[in-house]
Amino acid sequence: MPHAMNTRADVLLYVQHLLGIGHIRRAAVLARAFHRAGLKVVFVTGGLPVGGLEFGGVEVVQLPPARAQDDRFAVILDASDRPIDEAWRARRRDLLLEVYRRTCPRMVMTELYPFGRRKMRFELDPLIEAARTDDPPALIACSLRDIVNRPGDAGKTAWMVDRFTRQFDLLYVHGEPRLFRLEDCFPESPAVAERLHYTGYVTEAAQAVAAARASRVDTGPGQPGSGEVIVSAGGGAVGAALLRCALAARSLSPLAEVPWRLLIGPNLPEPDFRAIAAAAPADVTVEYARSDFVQLLTRARLSISQGGYNTLMEVLASGVPGVVVPFAGGAETEQAQRAQVLAAQNFITVVDEARLDPAQLAAGIERALAQGGARGKAPLRMDGAEETARHLIARLKEVAA
Give the per-residue pLDDT at 401: 77
| Coil, strand or helix at 385 | helix
Percent of the chain topping pLDDT 70: 94
Beta-strand pair 349-350/322-324? parallel
**Can you state the angle between helices 309-318 and 22-36, rounded to 10 degrees?**
70
- The answer on pLDDT for 186 being more than 80 is no
Torsion sign (Cα): 127, 133, 134, 139: positive
- The answer on pLDDT for 157 being more than 90 is no
d(CA 77, CA 194): 37
Break the chain into its structural domains and give their ranges.
5-202+382-400, 205-371
Per-residue model confidence as pLDDT tens digits over 83-96: 999 999 999 999 99
Contact (CB, 8 A) for 21 and 116? no
Which helix (H) or strand (E) segment holds residue 98: the answer is helix 86-103
pTM of the model: 0.90
* Side-chain-facing half-sphere of 223: CA atoms under 13 Å: 19
Give me the architecture of the 205-371 domain, per CATH: 3-Layer(aba) Sandwich (3.40)
Looking at every residue in the chain, the average pLDDT score rounds to 91
Per-residue model confidence as pLDDT tens digits over 321-347: 999 999 877 667 889 999 999 999 899
Give the per-residue pLDDT at 187: 72
Phi, psi of 146 (to 5 degrees): -70, -30
Task: Fold for 5-202+382-400, please state it.
Answer: Rossmann fold (3.40.50)
- The answer on pLDDT for 150 being more than 80 is no
Give the per-residue pLDDT at 5: 56
What average pLDDT does the segment 50-77 reach? 91
Give the per-residue pLDDT at 219: 55
Percent of the chain topping pLDDT 90: 71
d(CA 96, CA 45): 10
Fold: same for 5-202+382-400 and 205-371: yes
Give the residue, 70 or 23, on which the prediction is more confident: 23
pLDDT band (50, 70, 90) for residue 153: confident
